[in-house]
Structure 1
């Protein structure tokens, strides 16, 4: 019984709203009644919401109207003399019906397909600011569309971008031609409706059901128009309403290609409104609404209704509230309302033939009062969230200027761009530990947090992906206080400079080794003599004594003092007389800043061992003795030893607890971060990864021999404990953090 009472109340609302919203769709009023009948019956079998009322809705009606006016404008079918005959007007109206039906069927099919492929989440891309701003702008479109009925003029209705502006300008130019009787009827109807609705709202707690103000207004206006003969004053009326139901017909499929964009927009907007209302009532009454099933149910309602000349439908907030407040608990209330509409179509339709269209236009405008109040959202959003305020404003402007279909696409695109922008520039912070806890918070916003000495905990408020990867790296450098790029570049230059020095030293060593080899070979071909004997012989000759032997000396030395030779080699006498050998020692090279000592030994057997392989190396062996030709071995350059930078960080922890995915660009970035900071002995660890992020890292090839899973930690606190304990184990400083670094054996 409650469902029947609720259905009767909603059915009474369907009658005036169906006929009025048909005018928004640029269709005869009877098609609004059809749209209130067939879709409600189809939804009864497939829908999951118990409280929403399927039928005509302002926004969808104006969207359908923009399509019908665009494809079937007033001047499309004209006679040769420029005026329209009655048959031609009828032909134009029928073509509008075909366009509306084809658009509705296509929109319904789109909804069904999306529901079958489990695409019910598509409605989530229409955020609340987008939906409210879009419906507010659509309400303004509806008002402009009804001005011709209020003033009794015939402005040219435009389509496409800036259509609202063109139509409004045309209406303003036609104001001097305003039909005063029509303006009077619409004005009186609006005053009566506003006053009655305010009384309804004031006494809604005392009334069991709302007073059907709109139905009473329609009945009264019809009686006044019929008995007052308003048609004689040229006040436009509804006209003939056929009795009975029209047979189903197949829509014109050739129209699909022209309306596919509009149909998709209608499908998305209708579903967004339906699922938002359905979830609202489901949450209030404790049941669940299946989003995918709702999409299928709404699609079938539109697709089946399109075969019966219905235009696109969706739930209405006003009717749904009445259905819920009057005790409706199931969709039997929708069936009851459909019965009321059916009786009206079959028996009561002709009674409304004298109903002035101005009254229906007044009903539309008064019912838009709730949407006009949504302009106050700009004030509340400005106070709470500037980004949502900007989304609301852009949606409102785009919908007004670009029409409903293109405005919706531009609005959704802008809303998604704001999400990308906010994830691209998140908040980066360095975390510190709250004393006595395992909590780590931003040290800039929490004064009680203390940074762990030697450990930098870097946190990003958004996930890391291709759009913010470079910004993530720049923020990490800034928070650490280390320009890792410049540091590594400087190190590379120093390493290259050191390599050049070593190459020059090796070339000098090879040249000197070759000279020694030639000298040794020359000495092996001469007779070996004793320097001591020759010296004694020269001494006796100088004293006038006759030498003991007459063998001539094979070597004459003009100056016995040990002066350096041109190749910085001096001749040294052996320490032991029993071992006659030449010993050559290389002295200091005045052009070199390093001390090099090279030794070549020639024993008394006139033989020398020269390893050809060692001549190109760092050492050369002569008969078992080792000669070092390059005293400075090749070592990695230490930034700390060069004295250009100093730092007190030994570990960096990347907190990825906010990341729900990581793409290949971010994985490559992480790999480079670990490698680059590792070159200056700063170890990088990752904490707080979700299972999906770890899986992405594995598939992206992040882990290797150099980067193991030992760098991953479940929490930031675990990573901090590991860093501090491993640091204490490396250095003998158990009571404090040792912030010195050791790079390639060099302690800084």
Structure 2
């Protein structure tokens, strides 16, 4: 009885349906993509506005947490926003514009409750470098004009990436590369702010970091009175921070109180420094209209620069070379931060939706005069620790920013710029990787430590742009090397017993060359002579296809018998690449050859192979051809644990699994005409195809139960495909017994 008949009769069926070879078609693939397009479109449109999934369930408990977190972040983002605008060589109000639009717009598109969008140090320094580059190319453009255009273009690019759902491209940049880039950038930013902290002038603080450090040391004798405000502010920030940490440990019941005191240290220090600057400078204006220290001066109230961004052709041409690095920083920093806080707080973010969020934020922000904004690590951590409940906390933060923008700008006049430098240095210091984190890179993957180190050194000795390009290039190179040179091993058997007292035993397969993975005293038993078991620990693709070919062919030639006696073959008849031993050693060579076992079957464990391509299948065909030519008889190729229908389809196309002779399928990726003779390659016999498989056992079980209870796990038309490695090895070894009989 067939399985289809059993199903019609209501019989229970175990295993895969007994149909023809289960090969998926290209039509199946297209149908999967375009299945129910209307439903997919509806789901896609709803997913663009995550706020719809939680706003209807909003409650008073959530409101309390959001108000506290929103107010807390607002008190931090105001001084930081102005500081970062100065870092970007823009007037201070542009930092407030970016802060307002970032926190307000993001909450409507966010899938992360913790992330706070706004000006950040790395992006601000990048904007400063881009403004410098564009003005060097065409001095007619002003800094705010360049920054707003950059926000519009990069925002639109990132928005397009999110809408097209290709945010997975960010996954090609690993954590060590991000950490190295952030560490190098933090060092560069801090080094560039030290001259402002000390009041030292006379050199370019946006040059390579090592030059800035050297020039700062040379300029120490020119330190001005600004250092009194800068050093005092920096010391005050760290004193408050560590004092609060100490008090939190000593008085854990009041830890939340000390936490909020620590949070407000930026605002507190800036207020004290501003009061001191006002008291000292208000009557000390010289004849040139300058004050003894550098202060912020006039900050216009309200949105004075609302207009569409200037996107003329000349500006776009000048910005074009700088767009890649600005876009990478915009999306890379945000995705890294949002993923980190999602992992810490137990929720999952949607990277594509996050890209849409920052894309919309920057596109709209450019109309308000804002410069590029992305996720801030320090403010996101603060928001998370403050007990934020939903993304709606951003609305509260926006209210704080708008109040400051309209009501506090008169007080901003007296803010000392050295104090803003202190705030920047204090903020970016947390971006530097800790020694324990760097050591963890070494413990986990030593090569990735060198990627981290390269990113830091290039950033410090060249530029942020070159640092991020270096880290990405090094990461992609390492990825390609790992794909092109994966691990592979020949396997043997080990009998294991559970340590819990259970006396049941089972066989597992481990590498014959233990390589420090298993216990040194563990004895791994090779499979039966004439059977090879090989596991390839990577997808089987064109960069690594030659690895399997070399491993199998070399092992066979070194350890298994050559089928043809070459002792009486004339030297002139031998191929140029196999001249053989000298005449005196030919007999000994043949004697050694006869001591080796005869190859019968090769078992390939495909449990770790998720993809295969045309080049790899052709390499496998070539491997079979070379091995059979060496053995001078047909060799069975068994495959275990093939879980992808596309891999099954590819292998069947290459003549594997079904018992098709090697002479029937020689080329599927030919680059030269197929004019050579294949008659020398022996044919598989029909009994070879049917022998040594799980099929007979399955059929006998099916016959004994009337054919109603069980079905073959693999199709009868692909007897050399096996559901697991143990079954594949048993099938190969059972073929040995048949041959010996």
Structure 2 match to 1:645: 593
Equivalent-residue separation in structure 2 for 1:335 and 1:341 (angstroms)? 10
Structure 1 match to 2:418: 358
Deviations 1:176-200 (A, max 9, x none): 4332x01222111111111011123
Is 1:381 the counterpart of 2:430 in the alignment?
no
Is 1:396 the counterpart of 2:456 in the alignment?
yes
SS of residue matched to 1:434: strand
Match of 1:684 among 637, 651, 672: 637
Pair member with larger Rg = 1
Going from structure 1 to structure 2, the CA distance change for 1:104 and 1:441 (only over 3 Å counts) comes to: same
Does the 8 Å CA contact 2:87/2:121 hold for their aligned counterparts?
yes
Written as runs of structure 1 = structure 2, the 5 A alignment for 1:403-418 is 403-418=463-478
Structure 2 match to 1:712: 721
Structure 1 match to 2:710: none
Structure 2 match to 1:128: 175
Written as runs of structure 1 = structure 2, the 5 A alignment for 1:577-596 is none
SS of residue matched to 2:604: strand
Written as runs of structure 1 = structure 2, the 5 A alignment for 1:157-172 is 157=204, 163-172=208-217
The worse-fitting range, judged by mean Cα deviation, of 700-709 and 167-176 is 700-709
SS of residue matched to 1:399: helix
Equivalent-residue separation in structure 1 for 2:574 and 2:99 (angstroms)? 87
Match of 1:463 among 512, 517, 539: 539
Deviations 1:695-740 (A, max 9, x none): 33346676783158443323222221112212212222xxxxxxxx
How many equivalent residue pairs?
575
Structure 1 match to 2:371: 311
Match of 1:655 among 573, 595, 605: 605
Does the 8 Å CA contact 1:136/1:374 hold for their aligned counterparts?
no
Going from structure 1 to structure 2, the CA distance change for 1:650 and 1:355 (only over 3 Å counts) comes to: same
Equivalent-residue separation in structure 2 for 1:12 and 1:492 (angstroms)? 92
Equivalent-residue separation in structure 1 for 2:192 and 2:103 (angstroms)? 27
Match of 2:326 among 239, 242, 266: 266
Instruction: Kindly state the Cα deviation for residue 221 of structure 1 after the two structures are TM-superposed.
Output: 1.2
Match of 2:513 among 424, 441, 444: 444
Deviations 1:11-58 (A, max 9, x none): 000111111111221111111111110121111222221221111212
Match of 2:494 among 434, 437, 445: 434
Deviations 1:91-139 (A, max 9, x none): x8x7111111111111111110101111121221221111111111000
Instruction: Kindly state the Cα deviation for residue 489 of structure 1 after the two structures are TM-superposed.
Output: 12
Structure 2 match to 1:210: 260
SS of residue matched to 1:281: helix
SS of residue matched to 1:210: helix
SS of residue matched to 1:462: coil
Written as runs of structure 1 = structure 2, the 5 A alignment for 1:39-438 is 39-72=102-135, 95-157=142-204, 163-179=208-224, 181-204=225-248, 205=252, 206-208=255-257, 209-211=259-261, 212-229=264-281, 232=285, 234-246=292-304, 247-253=306-312, 254-435=314-495, 436-438=505-507
Equivalent-residue separation in structure 2 for 1:492 and 1:394 (angstroms)? 60
Structure 2 match to 1:33: 96
Written as runs of structure 1 = structure 2, the 5 A alignment for 1:546-585 is none
**Higher RCO (CA-CA < 8 Å; seq separation 6+):** 2
Does the 8 Å CA contact 2:553/2:627 hold for their aligned counterparts?
no
CA RMSD of the aligned region, Å? 3.1
Going from structure 1 to structure 2, the CA distance change for 1:263 and 1:351 (only over 3 Å counts) comes to: same
Instruction: Kindly state the Cα deviation for residue 296 of structure 1 after the two structures are TM-superposed.
Output: 0.5
Written as runs of structure 1 = structure 2, the 5 A alignment for 1:613-652 is 645-646=593-594, 647-648=596-597, 649-652=599-602
Equivalent-residue separation in structure 2 for 1:51 and 1:242 (angstroms)? 31
Equivalent-residue separation in structure 2 for 1:486 and 1:453 (angstroms)? 18
The worse-fitting range, judged by mean Cα deviation, of 139-148 and 110-119 is 139-148
SS of residue matched to 2:372: coil
Equivalent-residue separation in structure 1 for 2:297 and 2:367 (angstroms)? 24
Deviations 1:242-276 (A, max 9, x none): 01112223223332233334333233333233233
Does the 8 Å CA contact 1:431/1:440 hold for their aligned counterparts?
yes
Gaps of 5+ in 2: 1-63, 286-290, 496-504, 576-586, 663-688, 690-717
Equivalent-residue separation in structure 2 for 1:730 and 1:357 (angstroms)? 88
SS of residue matched to 1:328: coil
